[in-house]
Amino acid sequence: MPSIDFGWHAPSFPVDGSDAGSFLEQMHTHLQVMDGHLTSVWVDDHVHPWGAFVPRETPATEVMTTLAYFAARYPHFDWGSLVLCQSYRNPALTAKMAACLQWLTGGRYIFGIGAGWLVEEYEAYNWPFPKPAARIRQLEETIEIVKLMWTESPARYEGRYYCIENAYCHPQPEPLPPVMIGGGGEQLTLRVVAKHADWWNMPGGSPRVYAHKLRALQEHCAAVGRNFDDIRKTISLPTIAIHYSETTARQQAEATPLARNKDALIGTPDQVAARLQEYIDLGVDLFQVRVADFPQTAGMELFIQEVLARFSG
């Protein structure tokens, strides 16, 4: 069986009402538990806590600064954005920031990017929030600019939404970070994936839904002349609630707002492993996971000992 990789989908805000200092310690504790077991860590691109269950005054991370800090502290992980909102930063600046992360981490950055969706953040920070079709076209232009700046010097680009003129980005990244596009829109987003992505990330969804999206992606690949098998398939799973007792696992899920999702993985190690295998059978070889009992570590330790080990190697 080919090796299956697991990464940690790190929380972008404390879920237990902790202050900023305590939240930072929670993050360090989890990273120490996972070091040597999981292969990557993934950080959201949000500037506010989100969801009705958490006050907006709760401390929250910013993705690029957070990646830079933790990547320096934990050199055994790869570090990825899950995923950058393309319109939160100027595309040329995004290219430069990503190139610097790749340089400073010694090639451990994964450039995850998507079209953006959380309207309340756009409104709060005064970012324009056009219709989905426009945001996806902006996403494609951003990816084209990023790739251009990583490989040409100076770079010039003129698109419908963005342009650059004599833009320099040195040191250019070596190797180039994988471009991972997040999203599942079948008409537009998956076409951008087919044209530009090294990796594709689906934000949740059951195995049945994932299989349906894969068929749509195959059709787009055929239309643009892309080898479907060249795109790595990944998924950011809903929260995992795991315990030796299925009843206790379900109680954990009920107590965790992010786990109240019809596609959450809930149950014993055997049950969780069986659900993961359904995605693996479809071609997934990288999972970004979060565990319901954070900031406790028992769930992650059980996942490492009883589930992850079944799929390593």
Could you say which DSSP state residue 185 is in? -
Residue 201 resides in a domain: yes
The 10s digit of each residue's pLDDT in 99-144 is 999 999 999 999 999 999 999 999 999 999 999 999 999 999 999 9
pLDDT at 313 over 70: no
Question: Nearest-CA neighbor of 264 among 9, 26, 5, 4?
Answer: 9
Over residues 155-173, the mean pLDDT reads 98
The DSSP element (H or E) to which 200 belongs, if any, is strand 199-203
Distance between CA atoms of residues 267 and 243, nearest Å: 6
Percentage with pLDDT > 90 across the chain: 92
Q: How many CA atoms lie within 13 A of 262 on its CB side?
A: 5
Count up the domains in the chain and report the number.
Answer: 1
Give percent of the chain with pLDDT exceeding 70. 99
Residue 43 exposure: Cα atoms within 13 Å on the Cβ side: 26
In angstroms, the first-to-last Cα distance of the chain is: 7
The lowest-confidence range among 93-107, 148-162, 254-268 is 254-268
Helices and strands (DSSP H and E) totals, the chain: 11, 13
Domain-embedded: residue 123: no
Query: DSSP string spanning 220-252?
Result: HHHHHT--GGGSEEEEEPPPEEE-SSHHHHHHH
pLDDT in tens, 197-237: 999 999 999 999 999 999 999 999 999 999 999 999 999 99
Could you tell me how far CA 54 lies from the centroid of its own chain?
21
Note whether residue 136 is domain-resident.
no
Residue 57 lies in a domain: yes
What's residue 213's pLDDT? 98
- Going by pLDDT thresholds of 50, 70 and 90, the confidence category of residue 256 is confident
Residue 243's CATH number: 3.20.20.30
> pLDDT band at 185, cuts 50/70/90?
very high
Half-sphere exposure of 155 (CA within 13 A, CB side): 24
- Of 60-69, 285-294, 304-313, the poorest mean pLDDT is in 304-313
Pairwise CA distance, residues 49 & 57, whole Å: 8
The pLDDT of residue 1 is above 70: no
- Output the pLDDT for position 260: 80
How many other C-beta atoms are found inside a 10 Å radius of the C-beta of residue 268?
A: 18
Q: Is 271 part of a structural domain of the chain? A: yes
What does the pLDDT average to over 59-72?
98
154 lies in some domain: no
**Whether pLDDT at 270 is above 60:** yes
Domain-located, residue 146:
no
Residue 137 lies in a domain: no
The band of 298, judged by pLDDT with boundaries at 50, 70 and 90, is very high
Considering only CA atoms, which of 198, 177, 181, 203 is closest in space to residue 190?
181
Mean pLDDT of the chain, nearest integer: 96
Domain that residue 243 falls in:
5-85+100-117+181-311
pTM: 0.97
* Angle, helices 207-224/269-282, rounded to nearest 10 degrees: 20
